[in-house]
A and B are shown apart, each in its own frame.
Chain A
Amino acid sequence: MAASVREKQTVALKRMLNFNAPPLKNTAAEPVWKVLIYDRFGQDIISPLLSVKELRDMGITLHLLLHSDRDPIPDVPAIYFVMPTEENIDRICQDLRNQLYESYYLNFISAISRSKLEDIASAALAANAVSQVTKVFDQYLNFITLEDDMFILCHQNKELISYHAINRPDIQDTDMDAIMDTIVDSLFCFFVTLGAVPIIRCPRGNAAEMVAVKLDKKLRENLRDARNSLFTGDSMAAGQFSFQRPLFVLADRNVDMATPLHHTWTYQALIHDVLDFHLNRVMMEEGAGAEPSPAGARPKKKSRKTYDLTAADKFWQKHKGSPFPEVAESVQEELDTYRAQEDEVKRLKSIMGLEGEDEGAISMLSDNTAKLTSAVSSLPELLEKKRLIDLHTNVATAVLDHIKSRKLDVYFEYEEKLMSKSTLDKSLLDIISDPDAGTPEDKMRLFLIYYITTQQAPTESDLEQYKKALLDAGCDLSPLTYIKQWKAFTKMASTPANYGNSGVKPMGLFSRVMNTGSQFVMEGVKNLVLKQHVSETESADWSSVTSQETDDYRYFDPKMLRGSESSIPRNKNPFQEAIVFVVGGGNYIEYQNLVDYTKSKQGKKVVYGCSELFNSAQFIKQVRAADCSDMMLL
C-alpha cells in the first residue's frame, strides 16, 4: 500500500469534514463554516491526526463534545462523529428536537443498526426535522492510529477489552463474546479503511484464535454480499489489493509476558514507561517542587504542561526509537545549530544597522539584502525549531530525572542479561535488597522477568529468600502468584511449536547489534550498550512470513469460497506487508523492535497493532487484579 494507515485515516476524516465530498484542491476557495460534534471515541480518533489549526483551516469553527451543554446556533451545518450507542442516539434525538443547528450530517464511527436508525428517524419526524438530516454515513473508522505503522483499538473504556478482562478466571462466555465482538468490529473497520482483505494466521488455542475465527467470518460475509461489499468500491485502486494481500498475524499476550515488564532504553518507550503519555501527548508537572516556599507566601503552584509529539516534529520522528544517550546528544546538537543560526541573524542585524547610513555601500547591501530576506523568511522556522528543542529538552530532562532516581539503567542492563541468558555479574538478591535502586515496582518487575525467563524453576529455599527480600523492599507479591500459574499453564500446553519457551530457542533470530552509548550529560548513569532484542512476537511474524515452523498456526483466507478449516498454508509469493496484532495489549518496546527489524529487511512493511497500550505499571496492576479475583486455582 502506498499510503500508510495514518494517511488513509486522515484522508477519510478530511473527506468526512468536507461533507463527505472529496476535498477540492482549489486554494482560494470560498470558506464554508461548520460545527463538529464528537463523543469521546471520536475525540480519541481525531486528536492524534488533526490539530486544531488544521480543523480551523477546514472551516470548523467550533468543536464540542456530544454530551456537553450546547447552545443553539441556528444557521450552521453540524457534523456529528459519534459511536452508535444508545446514549449518543438519545442525545442526537434530543438535539433534533431542540433544533440546535441548521442541518445535520451524521457520521457513525462504526456501522449503525437498522433499529437505531429508525429511532433517529422517528425523532426527526417528531421534530419535523427530516429535511435537516442531510446525510447519514457509516465511516468505519473505529480504531486509533498513533504512528504511520502503529494502531490501537481504543482508549476510552479500554478496561472492557483489557488483558485483565480477557484473562480473568471468572469470565463468562457471554462476556468473552462481547469482548471479541468489540475487537473484531474494530479490526474490521481497520481493514475497510486499509482497503485490503488480509490472509489471517493465528496460533491455536487462545484468545487470538477466537478473534481470527470471528474476523474471518465477518470478512467472508461482507465479501459474499457482492452488492454491498465494502472492498470493491471504485474509490480504491483496482489493482491495489489483487496483487499483494497483506498478512495478518494475530498473537496473544500470554505468549510473551516478559516484554511488557521489561525496562526500556529507547526514547519513546521510556516516555511511555516513566511519564504520562497517551495518544501522542505527554503530560508533565513542572514547578519549583524542591524549593521551600517563603513563609506566608502561597506555595508555588506546579503547572501541568502538555506536549504533543506529532508527525510534524522531525526531531521526534528521527529519534523516537533511539537509545536515550543518543537522544540527549542530538538535542544538544540541535541546540548548537539553532544557536549558530540565531547568532547569524543577530549579526546581520548589526551589520544592517551600521551600513544603512553609508552612501556608497550599495554593493555590500545587496548581498546582505539577500541574506536578510532569507533570514527573515526563515524566522518562523527558527522559532518553531526553538519550541521543539525546548519541548524535547524538558521531556528528556524529566526522563533523565526518573532514570537517575530509580537507577533504571541498572535494571535495563540486568534484564537484558537475563533475557539473553548471558552471565550475570551481580546476583538478583543484591539488586532487590539494594535500598536506593528503584521503586518496589521496579524490583518486582525484575524478579518477574527473572522468574519467567529461567529455564528451571528456582528451588523453594531460593524462592523464599527472594520473597522475603521483596517483602522487605515493600513489594506486593500477588503478581507473582499469577505468573506462577501462567508459567505452569504454558508449560502444560507446550507442544513442539509452542511459543512459551521460544525465548530459549534461537531460531537464528537473535542478532546483536552493539550501539555504544554516548558520553553526554549522564553523569552517574552507566553508559549502556543497547542490543537489539528480538522479542517473541517478532519471531512469530518472521516465521509466518517465511512459513517455517508455523504449520501449527491456523490459516484463514476470507476470499476463498469454501470456508474450509484447512490449515495448509498455501505456498504463495512471500508477503510484502504484514500486520501484527497482539490481543490483550502491547507496548512501545515491541513496536520499536518491529520497526528496527523492518528496517533491516528491505522491501517489507510491518504494521503493529494491539487491543490496548499499557506500560509496565498498568500491566502489573492488571495482573494483580487478575490474581486477586482468582481464589480457586491456588
Chain B
Amino acid sequence: MAVDRTLLFKASVKTVKTRNKAIGIGFDSTKDEIFKRTRPKSGFSPKAKEVITNITKLKDFLLQHRKDYVSAGSLISSDLTRMTDSERDQIDQDAQIFMRTCSEAIKQLRNEAEKKVTSSQIKEHRGAVLDLIEMYLKGVCKLYSEQRAIRVKRMVDKKRLSRLAPEHHSQVEKTRAIEPTEEKAVKEESSEKSTSEVLDNTVEHLWEEGRVEDELSPEEIQMVCYLRQHCCHGTFHPFPFFLPVRQIEGKVVEISRLQEIFAEKVLQQETEIDSIHQLVVGATENVKEGNEDIREAIKNNAGFRVWILFFLVMCSFSLLFLDWYDS
C-alpha cells in the first residue's frame, strides 16, 4: 500500500524556499521557465504522439460505427440505423487507407530514429516506443478485421441460403474457388511487408470468395430453376442441401483462419530469413578474407624460406671462395 507524499514534498519545497529567502539566496526562476517553454516542437516524441492520436481517432471511429456496421439488418428495424453496403465499403476503404498511412508513418519514424542516433539508450528507447505503437496499431487493425470478417461471413451466408444449389456442384466450385484465391493471396503476401496490408489481404481473400460466388451464379441459377420445376409438386425439403453447405462454410472459415496464421508466421520468418541472409553474406566475406590471408601467409612463408636458402647458399659460396682465396 503506497502512501502519497507529494503534498509533504510540496510543503518541504515551500519551507526550503522561505528558508532560502531568509538566507538571501534568490533565483531567477521566471526567466528560466520562459526559456523552457520553447522546447523543440518537432522532436521524435511529438511525432510519435501524433501517430498515436491518429490511431486513436481511427479506433474511436471504428467503435462508433461498429454497431451499425455489424447489425444484422432485419426487416423490422428502421432504415435510419441500417447501413447500406456502399457505406460499409466506404468505411472499409477509409480504414484501410488510414492504417496504411499509419504504418508508413511508423516506418518513417523508425528510419529517422536510426539516422539521428545520439546514444544507445536513446536508440533503445525509441525502438521500444515504436514497437509499442506498432502493437497498438495491430490491436486496432484486429478490431477492423474482425468486423470485416463478420460482415463477409454474413454475406457468404446470405448468398448460400438464397441459393438452392446441389452439394456436389458447390463443393467442386468451392475447391476451385479456394485454390486460386489462396495461391493469389500467398503470392501477394510474399511481396508485401506490413502487417496491416496482410490483414487487408486476408480480408480481401474472403471478399474475393464472395465475388467468385457471384460469377458462378448464372450456372447455379439454371440449376435452381430446374430444381424448382421438379420440386414444386411435393413438399420441398431444403434440409439435405443445407447440411453439406454448412459443413463447407465451417471449413472455409477454418481455412481462412489457418491462412491468417500462416501468413503471420511466413512474415515473421521472412524477417528472420533476411537477417540470416545478411549474416551468411557476412560470413562468406569473412571466410574469403580468411582464405586470402592464409594464401598470403603461405606465400610469405615460402618467400622467407627462399631467402633463407639463398643466404645459406651465399654463405657456403663465400666460405668456399675464401678457402680458395687463402690457399
> Which residues of B have CB within 8 Å of A370?
254
Q: Which B residues from 104 to 130 make CB contacts under 8 A with A?
A: 118-119, 121-122, 124-125, 128-129
Q: Besides the contacts A75-B43, A112-B5, what 18 more A-B pairs have beta carbons closer than 8 Å?
A: A12-B1, A28-B143, A31-B133, A33-B129, A62-B121, A118-B15, A121-B9, A122-B16, A126-B27, A133-B9, A136-B4, A136-B8, A137-B3, A233-B1, A362-B251, A366-B251, A373-B257, A373-B261
Instruction: Decide if B119 touches A71 in the complex (CB within 8 Å).
Output: yes
Q: Which residues of B contact A64 (CB under 8 A)?
A: 121
The 4 closest A-B pairs by CB, nearest first: A61-B128, A75-B45, A31-B132, A121-B12
Residues of B close to A33: CB separation below 8 A: 125, 128-129, 132
Contact string against A for B residues 1-44, beta-carbon threshold 8 Å, 1 for contact and 0 otherwise: 11111101100110111001000000101001100100100011
> Is A15 an interface residue when CB atoms closer than 8 A count as contact?
yes
A27 contacts B by Cβ under 8 Å: yes
Tell me if B121 and A28 are in contact (CB < 8 A).
no
The residues of B that contact A56 with a CB separation of less than 8 Å are: 128, 131-132
| Binary B-proximity of A47-81 (CB < 8 A = 1, otherwise 0) | 00000000010010110100000110111100000
Q: Chain A contact residues: over half helix, strand or loop, or mixed? A: mixed
B-side interface size class: 35 or more
Chain A residues with a Cβ closer than 8 Å to the other chain, count: 61
B173 to chain A, nearest CB (A): 12
For window 167-206 of B, CB contacts with A under 8 Å fall at 171, 174-175
| Contact assessment for B132 and A376 in the assembled complex, using a CB-CB cutoff below 8 Å | no
B140 x A28 contact (CB < 8 A): yes
Does residue B276 face the partner (Cβ distance < 8 Å to A)?
Answer: no
Bound CA–CA A362/B255 (angstroms): 12
Chain A residues at the B interface, C-beta cutoff of 8 Å = 12, 15-16, 20, 27-28, 30-31, 33, 35, 56, 59, 61-62, 64, 70-71, 73-76, 107, 111-112, 114, 117-118, 120-122, 124-126, 128, 130, 133-140, 192-193, 195, 228, 230, 233, 235-236, 359, 362, 365-366, 369-370, 372-373, 376-377
CB A71 to nearest CB in B, in angstroms, measures 4
Query: 23 pairs across A/B with beta carbons < 8 Å?
Result: A12-B2, A31-B132, A31-B133, A31-B135, A35-B125, A59-B132, A70-B121, A71-B119, A71-B122, A76-B45, A120-B9, A125-B20, A126-B27, A128-B36, A134-B6, A135-B4, A137-B4, A138-B2, A192-B1, A195-B1, A362-B248, A365-B251, A370-B254
- Nearest B residue to A122 by beta-carbon distance? B16
B251 touches A117 (CB 8 A): no
Residues of B close to A16: CB separation below 8 A: 2
B residues within 8 A CB of A61? 124-125, 128-129, 132
- Taking the complex as formed, is B61 at the interface, i.e. its CB lies under 8 A from any CB of chain A? no
Alpha-carbon distance between A464 and B56 when the two chains are bound, in angstroms: 82
Nearest residue in B to A193 (C-beta to C-beta)? B1
Inter-chain CA distance A71–B124, complex, in Å, is: 12
Instruction: Please tell me if B258 contacts chain A, counting CB pairs below 8 Å.
Output: yes
Which of B13, B43, B121 meets A130, CB within 8 Å? B13
B250: Cβ under 8 A from any A Cβ = yes
Chain B neighbourhood of A369, CB < 8 A: 251, 254-255, 258
CB distance from B164 to the nearest CB of A (A): 20
Query: Of B2, B4, B27, B124, which contacts A15 at CB under 8 A?
Result: B2
Please indicate the chain A residues that have their CB under 8 angstroms from the CB of B163 in the complex. Answer: none
What residues make up the interface of B, taking CB atoms closer than 8 Å to A?
Answer: 1-6, 8-9, 12-13, 15-17, 20, 27, 29, 32-33, 36, 39, 43-46, 52, 56, 59, 118-119, 121-122, 124-125, 128-129, 131-133, 135-136, 139-140, 143, 171, 174-175, 247-248, 250-251, 254-255, 257-258, 261-262
In the bound complex, CA of A578 to CA of B52 (Å): 49
Distance between B5 CB and nearest chain A CB, rounded to angstroms:
4
> B131: which A residues are within 8 A, CB to CB?
56
- Chain A residue at minimal CB-CB distance from B258: A373
Complex interface: chain B residues within 8 A of A366 (CB)? 247, 250-251, 254
Tell me the minimal C-beta distance from A268 to chain B in angstroms. 30
Q: Which residues of B contact A136 (CB under 8 A)?
A: 4-6, 8-9
How far apart are A512's CB and chain B's nearest CB, in angstroms?
Answer: 44
Give CA–CA (A125, B29) in the complex, Å: 9
Residue numbers in A under 8 Å from B20 (CB-CB): 122, 125
Query: What separation, in Å, do the CA atoms of A287 and B107 have in the docked complex?
Result: 42
Q: What is the chain A residue whose CB lies nearest that of B52?
A: A30
- Cα-based distance from A389 to B52 in the complex (angstroms): 41
Bound complex: CA A76 to CA B126 (Å): 11
Most chain A CB inside 10 Å of its own CB: which residue of B9, B39, B140:
B9
Residues of chain A within 8 A of B4, CB atoms compared: 20, 135-137
Contact yes or no, A30 B56, CB < 8 A:
yes
Q: Write the nearest CB–CB distance from A77 to chain B, whole angstroms.
A: 11
Which residues of the other chain, A, contact B119 by a CB distance below 8 angstroms?
Answer: 71
Complex CA gap A33/B122 in Å reads 13
Name B31's closest neighbour in chain A (CB-CB): A128
Contact among A15, A121, A372 for B258, CB-based, below 8 A: A372
Residues of chain B within 8 A (CB-CB) of A27 are 139
Nearest CB in chain B: distance from A198 CB, A: 16
Whole-angstrom distance from the CB of A49 to the nearest CB of chain B?
16
**Would you give the shortest CB distance from B254 to chain A, in whole angstroms?**
5
Chain A residue contacts of B15, Cβ below 8 A: 118, 121
B250 and A118 within 8 A (CB)? no
Cβ contact within 8 Å between B171 and A362? yes
B6–A135 touching, CB < 8 Å: yes
> A62 with B27: in contact, given A117-B9, A137-B4, A138-B2 (CB under 8 Å)?
no
